[in-house]
Structure 1
């Protein structure tokens, strides 16, 4: 008997292999590229099963095996309350952005559990058996390890109903080949119904269904209670009573007065008398279509539409545009602040259609959850004009006749999958409200077009294809006349980056009796700069302003660049002009190289930053090497990945010839790293994807790319390094010449030596150490301290393994006593000495 089988026998005897509740199992797992993640649950019995109390969970990264102990908490979860699985049928959960396989249709779209990578375990709990996180409540599981990445880019599907997991550390789904079959993602993508790895949904497997009919398909919103009788009819077996539940797709238009009914055994239908009440709102919302749904355990649901007609209420405003799902990259920068942000760039646009100026002071904007924005005192919207509320960021770069504000709370919080947007007046009365569903999650806004009284449509499908238009109509025109116009005229259309300049004359119309501040935007400041900076001012009676654009001589071989100049002022049309900056013949950038990077720190040897804690994000690193003969000033240069900016080098980052600089994802790097410069990502992480990503070095502001390397994720659990350093091709570090199997070498060559330009490492030596427990003091003598430099005195209970190093005293040579040349004595109070059985101390440079 081999070691693994012996362990399994011992675990069976000791109860470490739980007995799964056989009726409900995880029947398939699919981990594909991007957001293509799926989980299939199956009912192996001949009776429909309610999933009330069941919870599907995801356990990520270093916590991927934490579920094997009682009391742990998952990284993501999905409650399955209200769902069911038909006899011998299935339920399919998919990521909200999953698109492959093309035939798969999710019964539940969620980013809770189907948001895993290949090293994230998936566990199904039944809370009727115990608390969430208790091993007694586990029904089924797919077990993976953080180091093994066993679930990456493949599908596991059940080939038997046996138990396919245990609670052993290190055990995985691969230990149960008698339970789990393995298929490639391509096989699943091309599968046909009947194949064992075909992803099957509820509707694919349900043989019985419900249908609905209404006594009236149209009601007035002011018609009152008990307006509609609902008849629910079932197909299939009539042998048993069947409980059915009604729900309304919009409780603000039609409410369910009678939520449940019973189709008696032997009967095919039941009529619920007066089951629907009309809801009389006070807002102008037009006729609304409300979906009425009937559900029952194990049967496909039935739906029918009910029209609720408006009773001619009028509202002074109209909600005209909503952006919940921000397009990725630069196209998603809706607020124009130069930074695409999934929270800041959300917005709601409102138009005043009252026919007079509207004071919205004290009004509020809410979503389905809570109040998101309180309109400040003095918010007066002119007749026919728009006001736009963004989730955050800066709105200084937005002009035109509209008013722009940012939320008074933390965020707008608009859900991509559907939400309600409502406006209340200062007395708390509802003025306008809009509901939207999954159509809000299409990387563009929902907009009324062409008139503000029309229904909502996807913005990208109309006009010139733009994805949103905050503050303007969908074609970019203003809702109301502006206060004036701004316009540019340029002295030339092009200039050379080496010493070139262009004069831009900015003119304004409108009321000249007041000064006007304008925001000046040069879209690429790595190519040109305004002599006025970011703002300029028209003085009283001044109708023109001169701006000098000076070229910036960069070091990138970037050809001719097109740059846009804009001038923005509240209430004025925005001025815009473009010009070219011609390259002065720079050759390919070769001063620095990307020499090594670690995207997947190995477990358990992956503490690359040596801070005593393995962290799969903080221990990522990128190493740059100066291969030129001159020092290179990296001040304000940027490191990006495929998502965006990850690190900005601080001012004063001067990289000597032949020297390397290492940027870690985070943590507190400890040690000399061969005399190389060491920094941590200014954004808080490097975000290098295990499955592949792009690493870029960009000029200040991110305008030009100097270095770029795309990797495919084929190297895991070690770094990728040049072999030889500085000039060779990229290889797995352990295979590099001279690496001797070592998995990474931040700050030094692959064979562990220092780079040619490395700075000599200063050593600090503790020459004497004692603890005075009676006086709660630590006595230490140190050699090698540099006068005037600052040093940290740190403490840990276990050398940083689980108790992080805590810096509790700062030392200089002046704060100690020089007992002999170069040797200093320090007396450091530590009030916790008496409370701990052991403590560890260290001295380091900050």
Structure 2
């Protein structure tokens, strides 16, 4: 129904190119109340108990300094808010969730936002000044303007699914001290609600959409994050905690914006990358970073699980670097010099973790010649990769939690970690390079039933446009491929997993050599390559193997088995002879059906090894 514009935005006569409230049309203009609304996610599950936490409640805004909604007007009602965070580790469908106060018969808010990814949040404000737009709290924070009044003396807030399933049911206690109350430890549903100012150094009264210190929720909120305090965790040593990369000389121009805050800064964009390569959770709080003999910064992050990474930046705003990667802004600027710097890291107990004399640099980081190997020397990043740095990732762009299989510095970093010396026999000799150094991969479970799926099968390459392996030559055999994706939600070992084909009888086609796949990561097996060609670089989180698989154009079953012969996944196809790949629909859904690739991607797009059919990263879920 068409209505007068002022019925939707008081005092605003028109809004060409935006929603009536000024928000981007891409937000969906959900009643003018929702900003940063993510893509629809019909396949994502609804949250269950404990998947979302009530992390902060602002029931008693300060009469002078309580402008939490950023509309320029302090209001002891409009500036009330609640902050709800996804701590489940997976994307959840949240539209229709209902928030009740003190067991009321009707909800005080019904969430309109479609989806929340891991560590994303919704902030529900009670109101806004006339004509004001909802605040932009960042890409990982959704904002809605709808909330029942909050009691200063405490109340029980209950979040339920549309069918009555309880997600949380908590009493936030007294909240009448002119500030919000927040969980301590942060993001821990078993924690206590305390005055916000007690969690910050600057006495901040509220912080909707971030940890109390301004860090993103993906950081775990150091000093009280999702893991909480870890006093029983192991102390770090040089064998368990590795400094894998250091940027001391920030590149010029936009390339120098390592912390991704939109500004290149010679101090803020300096960073150190720490990775837990041990088998135990480490308590890294109190790590000291020294330049020469001068103490420059102390780490606040407390807990680092096996395979997890901490990137410590010199300043700016901490970015969201993805699952398993924490980002922190250092307590002080590092002050590294471009002409050469001695960098030392010591534990809170004085144990030396790292001590390197880094020479003068010209706009590139220093990284381990063999990634994640504590005994490997630090070399310029450009010695092992075309990139100037790889913050939060292996030098070749793959996930650090994978162990950097095929990583640079093992004699093959520049060619993707492959030894092409055995190309003529149709196979690839990896020379043992796919075995990661001791890391989370060694401790990961072997892939089991349901952990892996075959998402795409290219059995009939088009004779003119079928160059799927990117070697510049169309081959109806070499360009065949199978795309295998980790849908388990965790790191799994895949080395030794076998691919079988079956028509009238079963035959093994390939044995995987890649060590591990992280959640959402993929392995693409191509049948071959033109002599002298290099395996394609399909981007971060996508591994490539070359093995002489043979796929029929019709009537074949493909089967993945673990080294003991247990079936992990199997799928059968009929006709695959229409000069394009077959793709699961819905993608990444083991219950999906195989359809021709163009039905998902559109005319002319015949295959998409290593990505969703629409070209998006497989880690997005292909929603």
TM-score by length of 2: 0.31
Greater RCO, CA 8 A, separation 6+: 2
TM-score by length of 1: 0.24
Greater C-alpha Rg: 1
